[in-house]
Amino acid sequence: MASVVVRAAPPLDPPVGAAPPAMPGLDELPLPWPGPPPGPPLRRPGDPHPPGAHAACRRFAGLCVEVLNGYRPASQLRPLTHPHRFADVTDQLMRRAVRIRMRPAEAARQGRLVRARRLLVTEPLPGIAEAVLVLEQGETAWAMAIRLEHDPAGQPPPQLQGWRCMLLQVV
């Protein structure tokens, strides 16, 4: 039968003013620590948003809320959405709209309109804006994720200052 050696756990914090005890037999790993990833540096959360990114996300989110409330047809999002992604974006919105279907006047009287509670926008890379929108209807809340990409070439939509929706996910 093999014997088992039980050792005391090392202290988590050294005593104040003392160096941590040396652990015999434990050396540093001989692996080099990689530097920062190649490419442009990632934006920090406190960095200001590029011109137009936050406003474009806020505008697109507001249009989506109008679609959910029935004040705007989803087809009006077509010029603001990438042509290959339009069907996916409207499918996500329409699935939620079917679940909350109520005439806007009736919803307003009952206080059941969909409202944006909070919008958070980040730009992980230049020209890409990602937003999370918290929506509420009465006591129900859910989230919507939006990804916009800046499209300087071609026909940029003036409503979003050249930003186009590439992804919309309703959770």
End-to-end CA distance of the chain: 56
pTM: 0.65
Task: Kindly indicate whether the domain formed by 53-170 is annotated with CATH number 3.10.450.
Answer: yes
SS3 123: strand
Number of neighbouring beta carbons within 10 Å of residue 59:
17
- For Cα atoms 63, 69, 72, give the angle at the middle one, nearest 5 degrees: 50
| Tokens found for residue 139 | 């006591």
| Tokens found for residue 123 | 């730009």
Q: How far is 49 from 27, CA to CA, in rounded Å?
A: 44
Domain-wise residue ranges, the chain: 53-170
pLDDT of residue 93: 87
pLDDT of residue 168: 94
What's the pLDDT tens digit per position in 64-106? 998 888 888 889 999 999 989 999 999 988 887 766 666 656 6
The closest of 135, 163, 134, 169 to 149, measured between CA atoms, is: 163
- For Cα atoms 98, 104, 108, give the angle at the middle one, nearest 5 degrees: 120
| Ranges 10-19, 27-36, 85-94, 113-122: which has the least confidence | 27-36
| Tokens found for residue 40 | 């442009």
pLDDT of residue 109: 67
SS3 74: helix
